[in-house]
Amino acid sequence: MTVGIVGLGLMGGSLGLDLQDKKIAKRVLGVDHNISHCEDALEYGLVNEIARVEDIKKCDMIFLCVPVNAIVKIMPELKDVDKNTTIVDMGSTKQKIVEKTPKEIVENFVASHPMCGTEKYGPSAAFKGLYEGNTVVLCNTERNSQMHKERAEELYKALGMQLFYMDANEHDKHAAFISHLPHAISYSLANTVMSQEDPISILALAGGGFKDMSRVAKSSPKMWSDVFKQNRSNLLTSIDLFEKEMQKIKELIEHENWEAIEIWMQKATTLHKII
């Protein structure tokens, strides 16, 4: 099988490494608008060769591993792919992508979201095993032909992923809480510290807690601003609910209600009985 990858950063590059390492694909082609990314991808062995979009369209499978707005923009260029070519996206939002899929490729286009990644980005961030043991959400697969659905499923299983099925709208509501809101909080925390008069002295005291919470603020601003834009409504809802919790703890501290604070914290710890 020949696989084409559009976007040679963390997700696309790691996919290319695994496709080769696990011998899932006979040939892996890569496309990226950034010339240095193309050069790095070849140097790191992420793909077998750099190609054009026209070449990618001849592959058995095409993976779109670019920011979510870029996925929407590139889909019209793929309207004339062969009916046997499977197209899979890896976007962090799903509803708008599903809505914007050209009717000519609805059956070909498998909307997915691998629930994995790191705060690093670019070809140098790619590594083998990124997908192993993680969950991938497949959305609205009832729109796909059986062949394309099964091909995507089989490839993700070969990568070692666990499959989960969900409606695109439902996915975006849930992703707002478990992925998009945490990124907004992390960026906010980082900006709060950096806005102080002496952030360097503050950061000299940074321990595990701060480093854990601020880690994802290193993530690609381009990628995440696109995600925030596409999932604006759900993200705003999650921020509103988070602000209510912050207001609650603020008032408890103001009133020195330490017993209630402990109960409030105890409730939060029950989360880790679930995950």
Chain segment 208-239, per-residue pLDDT in tens: 788 888 889 999 999 999 999 999 999 999 99
> What pLDDT, on the 0 to 100 scale, is given for residue 200?
82
Three-state SS string over 18-33 comes to HHHHCCCCCEEEEECC
> What pLDDT, on the 0 to 100 scale, is given for residue 181?
97
153: amino acid identity, one letter: E
87-132 tens-digit pLDDT:
999 999 999 999 999 999 999 999 999 999 999 999 999 999 999 9
Given the DSSP bridges, would you call strands 135-139 and 49-50 parallel, antiparallel or unpaired?
Answer: unpaired
> What pLDDT, on the 0 to 100 scale, is given for residue 207?
74
Query: 264 falls in which pLDDT band (50, 70, 90)?
Result: very high
The model's pTM is 0.90
150-204 tens-digit pLDDT:
999 999 999 999 999 999 999 999 999 999 999 999 999 999 988 887 888 777 7
Give the CA diameter of the chain: 67
Give all domains of the chain, ordered by start, each with its CATH number.
Answer: 2-166 (3.40.50.720), 171-273 (1.10.3660.10)
